[in-house]
Amino acid sequence: MRLLAIGDINGESGREFVYNNLSRILSRYKIDFCVANAENSAEPNGITHNIANTLIQSGVDVITMGNHTYDNKESASVLEDNSRVIRPLNFPPEAEGMGYTICDLGNIRVAVINASGRINMTPVDCPFSAVERLLPKLEADVIVIDFHAEATSEKIAFANFLDGKVSAVFGTHTHVQTADERILPNGTGFICDLGMTGVEDSVLGVKKEIIIEHMRMPVKRVRFEKAQGEAWFHACIFDIDEKSHKTTTVERLRFNRL
Ligand SMILES: [Fe+2]
Ligand SMILES: [Fe+2]
């Protein structure tokens, strides 16, 4: 099974790139299953019904979120209405939505889990314990995890904690793609961060001038605006063996046109 995992889809430029190109990407790379992080897809962040539906129509099978999940007023109802849109498992139990979903592809059941880190992130429950408690209950063949976290140390520790227990762990949140894609000793495919699908000529997707001003004058409040312009596609492909459920190859993608 070939899994495509797409880094944080950011704003209009990132969304449009996915809407216009995903079907060709899926066929070019012979993808069977696609997971995309869309916590920044709406304005100012979060997700809307229209965006979720259009991403799914474009070929995304499961949408994951992160610390910006509820930044749009529609997000909570998107999570309640659509089991293919998930938020971190280790959010407070009262938070709307689910932390995992299972998709039946006919010959194979794929579970996608979303979890959040705790280092330099909004305080949440322990992601290690939350996933450890969930795994025995999951009726799935292949399990993959979007670990939405800031610190590379936490991501590497989390992936090694799950090595051999899940097929792949891919990081999101930093919007900067890391060049450490690999297969851990017990067969779990891993990358610290998939990156961002959005405008690279920006500061993590926000207009450069605004962030520079914010860094120079942090005592003043500023309104973040997403950058406009050419979008780049950041993602990773995991080839997962359907018998052993181990990852056999990991390929990192970063391009701005097909
Ligand atoms: Fe995030
Ligand atoms: Fe993000």
Among the bound ligands, the one closest to the CA of 205: 2
pLDDT of residue 120: 97
Would you name the residues annotated as active-site residues? 68
- How confident is the model over 13-68, as pLDDT tens digits? 999 999 999 999 999 999 999 999 999 999 999 999 999 999 999 999 999 999 99
* Dist. CA 33 → ligand 2 center (Å): 21
d(CA 207, CA 18): 20
**What residues contact 43, with CB distance under 8 A and at least 6 apart?**
11, 12, 72, 226
Query: CATH fold of 2-255, please?
Result: Purple Acid Phosphatase; chain A, domain 2 (3.60.21)
pLDDT computed for residue 17 by the predictor: 98
Cis peptide before 93 (omega within 30 of 0): no
From ligand 2's centre to the CA of 194, what distance in Å?
A: 11
Place of tokens 């959010």: 91
Looking at residue 258, what is its pLDDT?
87
Distance 40 CA to ligand 2 centre (A): 5
User: Where exactly are the structural domains of the chain?
Assistant: 2-255
Q: Which residues of the chain have pLDDT under 50?
A: none
Regarding pTM above 0.85, the answer is yes
DSSP 16: H
